[in-house]
Chain A
Amino acid sequence: MYESMMKVIGGYGLVSGFAVIGVTMWLSYWLSARLTRGRLHGSAIAIFLGLVLSYFGGVLTGGQKGLVDIPLLSGIGLLGGAMLRDFAIVATAFGVNIDELKRAGVSGVVSLFFGIGVSFVAGVGVAMAFGYTDAVSLTTIGAGAVTYIVGPVTGAAIGASSEVMALSIAAGLVKAILVMVVTPFVAPMIGLNNPRTAVIFGGLMGTSSGVAGGLAATDPKLVPYGCLTAAFYTALGCLLGPSLLFFIMRAVAA
Chain B
Amino acid sequence: MIIYGVAFLALCTLVGLFIGELLGKLLGVPANVGGVGIAMLLLIFIGSYLNKRGLITAKSEQGVEFWSAIYIPIVVAMAAQQNVFGALSGGPMAILAGTVAVVASFAMVPLLDRLGQKKPEPVADKPLTTPQR
- A interface with B by C-beta (< 8 Å): 17-18, 21-22, 24-25, 37-39, 41, 43, 46-55, 57-59, 64-68, 73, 76-77, 79-81, 84-96, 98, 100-101, 103-104, 106-107, 110-111, 114-115, 118-119, 121-123, 125-127, 130, 141, 144-146, 149, 153, 166-180, 182, 186, 188, 190-197, 200-201, 204-205, 208-209, 212-213, 216, 219-224, 227-232, 234-235, 238-239
Knowing that A191-B113, A235-B23 touch, tell me 15 more A-B residue pairs with CB under 8 angstroms. Answer: A50-B78, A51-B79, A51-B80, A54-B79, A65-B81, A80-B81, A85-B75, A85-B78, A87-B10, A94-B47, A171-B95, A174-B87, A174-B99, A182-B102, A231-B34
Residue of A nearest to B105 (CB): A204
| Contact (A177, B84) CB under 8 Å given A88-B70, A197-B109 | yes
Ordered nearest first, which 6 A-B pairs have the shortest CB separation? A170-B90, A58-B85, A174-B98, A80-B77, A231-B37, A50-B79
Q: B39 touching A79 by the CB < 8 A rule?
A: no
Structural contact, B82 and A126, CB atoms closer than 8 A = no
Residues of chain A within 8 A (CB-CB) of B105 are 115, 118-119, 204-205
> How many Å lie between the Cα of A104 and that of B109 in the bound state?
13
**Could you give 10 example pairs across A and B, Cβ below 8 Å?**
A58-B85, A80-B79, A94-B47, A145-B98, A174-B87, A194-B128, A205-B102, A219-B128, A220-B72, A235-B31
What total of A-B pairs shows CB separation below 8 Å? Answer: 352
Smallest CB separation, A133 vs chain B (Å)? 14
What interface size band does chain B fall in?
A: 35 or more
Residues of A within 8 A of B13 (CB): 86-87, 90
List CB contacts (< 8 Å) of B24-49 with chain A: 24, 27, 29-41, 43-45, 47-48
Residue from B32, B97, B106 in contact with A127 in the complex, judged by beta carbons closer than 8 Å = B97
